[in-house]
Amino acid sequence: MTTPNTADLEPVDDFRDRARRWLRATLPPAPPEPAGESGKSEASWSRARQLQRILYDGGFAGICFPRQYGGLGLTTEHQRAFSEESRGFEMPLALNIPTLTICAATILDRGTEAQKRAHLPAVLRGEELLVQFLSEPRGGSDLAGLTTRAERRGENWVLNGAKIWSSGAYAADYALCLARTDWDVPKHAGLTMFLVPVHAPGITIRRITQVDGSREFCQEFLDDVVLPGDAVLGEVNGGWEVTNRQLFHERSAVGGASPYASGAQAHSGRDVSALVEIARRTGQFDDPRVREDIGAARAMNMVHDQLIARITRGIASGDLPPAAGSIVRLFSAQNSWLQADTALRVAGPWAATGPDGSGRAGHDYLMRQAWSLAGGSTEMARNIISERVLGMPREAAPDRDVPFNRVERGR
């Protein structure tokens, strides 16, 4: 992101004070976080759009987005201050990932001027939700090995293929969709990113039932989906460069380091108040073992916050490569595992129903492994850190520099 001239900006402390007063006067307290399908209903998405519009009208949407695209053009310090003050208030957190922190941020970095002016203000007003069409049913972690096809037909493009694991696609308006446009070059070189209307003719969306009963993930089938020429995001056959930038934003978002969020994610694992409440409700708050567990969880949260600040400064100054964002992503997963494990251990039998009847600890434990995959698998994060940050040798890849139409598949 471009660093604003701080001399022309409202002081952070003044901004924090103004945000605190506005939040107290405008937004209700955050409701209890719903579990499973109840947290992914059509009504919840409608409420998130409404809350985003309230932020926009109040002058607190898109804090780090440029002014010409509907944002405030302020610094990450302003964003951090607002996120801290907004804890405890109802916020449009569902729009953070992937709409604001990943997709909109990628459009900001790689979109044309027309694309930025068409989509970013609409996103910041809560009028558009964005989603990612990246992974494919047979792709695994080999994103560049995708086989969704985009073919030129006159001035248009026609897409055919299938995508999967698209969070919230059923509620979205547009998708960033990666497709293959050249089969005669190595796999990374023949890809193009497209901005696709999610409900365009030819797109079928099916929701996937998860272990907790929710159906947030989706699979999409694209059958002769026609797009105009200006739907290309970035350059034709330059989609891998756009994807790398998109994945950078995804790692930052999942790690809790994105400057583009509307408020702080409640499930980020950086607040032990839920652990304290479980201990009190189950009569264990004075147990030395339980207090030690809570202290360890709190210490991990403090390290997490300091790590985010250090990595963010390092990338901004050029002392660290952008790939260092994978360090935050990996640590965030490890911290989330620890928080879920600790809640389960403290809750004991109450994990299934909860002392308040919610069963939150048990639900979070069921979804624990999601943090192994969100924002790219932890194994991929370790590869990126080893190869692109530490400079270790790249792992073997038999299809490297081989034209994609000569790569054996399906074995």
Rounded-to-integer distance, Cα 256 and Cα 137, Å:
28
Element (H, E) at 176: strand 174-180
Q: Which two tokens stand for residue 363?
A: 């639900």
Residue 125 near residue 61 (C-beta atoms within 8 A)? yes
Find the DSSP H helices in 208-324.
239-254, 273-281, 288-317
Residue 329 and residue 268: Cα distance in Å, rounded?
Answer: 11
d(CA 29, CA 194): 39
Phi, psi (deg, nearest 5) at residue 190: -110, 30
How many other C-beta atoms are found inside a 10 Å radius of the C-beta of residue 368? 17
Pull the structure tokens for residue 345: 């251990």
Q: Catalytic residues, which ones?
A: 250
CA max distance for the chain: 72
Which residues touch 75 (CB under 8 Å, ≥6 apart)? Answer: 3, 4, 6, 9, 12, 64
